Amino acid sequence: MYFTYVCPVQKKVTRKMQYGQEAHLELDRLENSQGPSLNHKYQLIAYAMLLEDTYNKPVRYGFIYTNNEKAIPVEVTPNARVYVKETLEKIRLLVSKELIPNKAGEKGKCVDCEYRNFCGDVR
């Protein structure tokens, strides 16, 4: 804190900092090339369902905007609605029984998980 506010020092960019910046840019490029992930699509569908309940109007499409401001249309299908409802039921069950969710299939998802400090599967 002291060096940040009282005595700011010009920081020398290290090899690790440069590598981290390059790796971050590569991840951004890969995410944009693959399109939106399934969790983003299902989140959009959940929002569409909320809009339908609130305004009593059907929602058939939504849009996900990428970092380069490209709009990707996502169809709100009956199967996707069923999946979102089933997922919500599973979440409600976890909350009501005070359970911790199962281990994620991908270790990278654990990085931002709020249960990370409590889950025995994350080391």
Residue scoring higher pLDDT (109 or 49): 49
What pLDDT does residue 3 have? 54
User: Which has the closest alpha carbon to 62: 52, 51, 78, 75?
Assistant: 75
Average pLDDT, the chain: 80
**CA gap 101, 48 in Å, rounded:** 25
**CA gap 40, 110 in Å, rounded:** 17
Is residue 26 classed as helix, strand or coil in its secondary structure?
Answer: helix
| Cα angle 84, 71, 47; round to 5 | 25
Domain spans of the chain, in order of start: 37-123
pTM summary value: 0.62
